[in-house]
Amino acid sequence: MTRRVFTGLGALAAVQAVATCSESRAGSSGTGNRNAAAPEVRDLVRMSPPSFDGVDLGHVSPDPSEVEGTVATATVNPWRRQCLFLWEEGKAPATTTPNGSGYDPVGFRPTVTSLPTAASTAVKGAVLLCAGGAFALRGDNSDCYPTARRLSALGYHCFVVDYRVRPYTQAEAGCDLARAIRFVRAHTADYGLPSAEHIALGGYSAGGILCGETILNWSGTTSPARLDSSYVPDNLDTVSANAAATAMIYSSYGRLSVAELNPDRLSGVVPTYYCYGTKDPFYDQFEKQVEILAGLGGALSAHAQSRSAARAAALLPADAEVVEASPTDAASLARIVDGVVLTHGGDDDLENHYYAVLPALLEVLESRPQTHISLMTSMYVSTPNREQPEWDWKRLAERPLRVSGHPYTIVRPGWFDYQGPGDTQIDLKQGDRIGGRPGVDRHHIAQVLIEAALSPSGEHRTVEVFSKPALRV
């Protein structure tokens, strides 16, 4: 099995959304032992009644009699399980006229089921989960609900989306997921989310394809009327359907069994976590799509301040703006635009090289408190070390950044260029508990530093970054 992360730290929310990937069985998109998850489902989260004893383990679709209302009108209770219809009765946008054929009967109404965080757990965000089933059926609870169980313990509200499948189309299912995202964003405050941007998606097989469908075709305020001209928009349609990240478990952007490989179509995707097997029949398509995404990069411009403009210019892209100045020269820092990546260092004058730049930088950014700062320090800086005084200065540099009020990410890399030839995957750790000389590819350091600034999931984190072999079985 291969786990690939596109846009490194920016996909932390998605990575956590698939923390139970190893618990999911091959073929969980609607097959397998449906009773195997029963003990876990019953112990899903600690919350007030109703409990999970009544969850239908054979199918994700709730009993219509248990649905409490619609997402447009229902009163939200963030601390107990709720099931809501996504559309008013008879109002779902559709191009399909059901006639009794296919999996969904005439009159079927898609739903979203909320699964709150565990008691006394700080809320970190929300994750919307979509089961598989090849759009021919909806998968069982062996994928979404065990994942929700783990995420709840980590501080994430989860929402299982029971979207439309045959005879309905992938586009109609995409409208359903977009509607669910809008509902969650509209109730950011009710669910206690840090912001409306702290929402991720996760899907298994067809559920992952559905996440991609929504990101590619239904993001922002794209109206369902684009699909169904007779649809009458409501207030919820004015809410964005954007998500911060997505996890694709044995799936990809595109259609069923056909990955999207057009770079122009993929240029606007969010940070994405992939998990797929090397023996999967679509393995080659998954790999090609990952390669395309990895090569797209972002539309970023670089402004660099360096003690040596010539040296910096030789290392940076040709269109980068380089200013030669001391790192403590506040005036020269004034051209900073959106974010800062700080990789300061030197062999002498440790205080100025490793610490003094922080007060100067924070002075310049006093009027721009939302500017993200990515700071590279070092592993082993958590405790004083007389033999390595630069570590003390690096540790001191971390302190004003943490209390500055700025969004920040502190990156503590391992030993430069000590990685092995097969260490092609980023390995993030925390706690400063790694000993020895674990290596890290310089490209991995750069990726984490840059992408930490591009995603809310990277904010206010301190991580160690190393390189490790890609996981394949």
Determine the structural domain holding residue 107 and report its residue range: 2-296
Q: Are 146 and 206 found together in one domain? A: yes
* pLDDT of the residue at 49: 28
- Cα separation, 409 vs 460, in Å, equals 6
326 with 349, same domain: the answer is yes
169 and 285, same structural domain?
Answer: yes
254 with 320, same domain: the answer is no
Asked if 183 contacts 128 with a C-beta cutoff of 8 angstroms, the reply is no
Taking 70 as the threshold, does the pLDDT of residue 20 lie above it? no
Q: How confident is the model at residue 280 (pLDDT cuts 50, 70, 90)?
A: confident
Q: Residue 82: which CATH number?
A: 3.40.50
Q: Is residue 473 a part of any domain in this protein?
A: no
Same domain as 291, residue 176: yes
Note whether 349 and 438 are same-domain residues: yes
Same domain, 414 and 292: no
Longest dimension (CA), the chain: 78
* SS3 call for 453: coil
Q: What are phi and psi of 22, to 5 degrees?
A: -65, -20
Domain boundary residue among 249, 272, 296? 296
Residues 364-422: pLDDT tens digits? 788 788 888 999 998 988 877 767 778 888 888 899 999 998 999 999 999 998 898 88
What CA–CA distance (Å, rounded) separates 440 from 394?
19
- Asked if residue 311 belongs to a domain, the reply is yes
12 with 159, same domain: the answer is yes
Residues 378 and 442 in one domain: yes
99 falls within a domain: yes
Burial group, residue 18, by CB count within 10 angstroms (0-12, 13-18, 19+): buried
In this prediction the pTM is 0.59
Indicate the range of 24-38, 59-73, 441-455 predicted with least confidence. Answer: 24-38
Instruction: Looking at the structure, tell me whether residues 41 and 161 fall in a common domain.
Output: yes
Question: What is the CA 105 to chain-centroid distance, rounded?
Answer: 34
264 and 331 in a common domain: no
Condensed to tens digits (0 to 9), the pLDDT of residues 117-173 reads 877 778 889 999 999 989 888 776 677 888 888 888 888 999 999 999 999 999 999
The pLDDT value recorded for residue 19 is 35
Total structural domains in the chain?
2
Gap between the Cα atoms of 149 and 72, Å rounded? 27
Q: What is the CATH number of the domain that holds 322?
A: 3.40.50.720
Q: Which two tokens stand for residue 462?
A: 């301190």
| Six token digits for residue 423 | 């260490």
